[in-house]
Amino acid sequence: MNRTTTLGAGVALLFAATVGLLLHFIPGPHKPTDFLVIGALATLLCLLLLWIVLSKLQKKPDVPPKAENPE
């Protein structure tokens, strides 16, 4: 499994778990706005986690240190 597949599967699993937990904890009967809020919160959480993971895994370019230039 490559990194992209693993990351995509992890985000999908997190989304499903978040939706399941929110459906359990928000009291029913559910209205359409409840489903809208649940989907929005799950999407926000997944995108935030994806942004954090990708920013931490980003490779830094190898830049040599600047040589001091005596004038």
Length of the chain: 71
Q: Is residue 68 part of a domain?
A: no
Spatial distance between the Cα atoms of 45 and 41, rounded to a whole number of angstroms: 6
Number of domains forming the structure of the chain: 1
Q: Is residue 70 part of a domain?
A: no
Burial (Cβ within 10 Å: 0-12, 13-18, ≥19) of residue 59: exposed
pLDDT at 2: 83
Q: Is residue 7 part of a domain?
A: no
pTM: 0.71
Q: Is residue 36 part of a domain?
A: yes
Q: Is residue 33 part of a domain?
A: yes
Residue-range definition of the domain harbouring residue 38: 13-57
DSSP 5-65: HHHHHHHHHHHHHHHHHHHHHS-SSPPHHHHHHHHHHHHHHHHHHHHHHHHHHPPPP--PP
Q: Is residue 1 part of a domain?
A: no
How does pLDDT run along the chain (71 residues), one tens digit per residue?
787 888 888 889 999 999 999 999 988 898 999 999 999 999 999 999 988 888 887 777 767 777 776 66
Q: Is residue 42 part of a domain?
A: yes
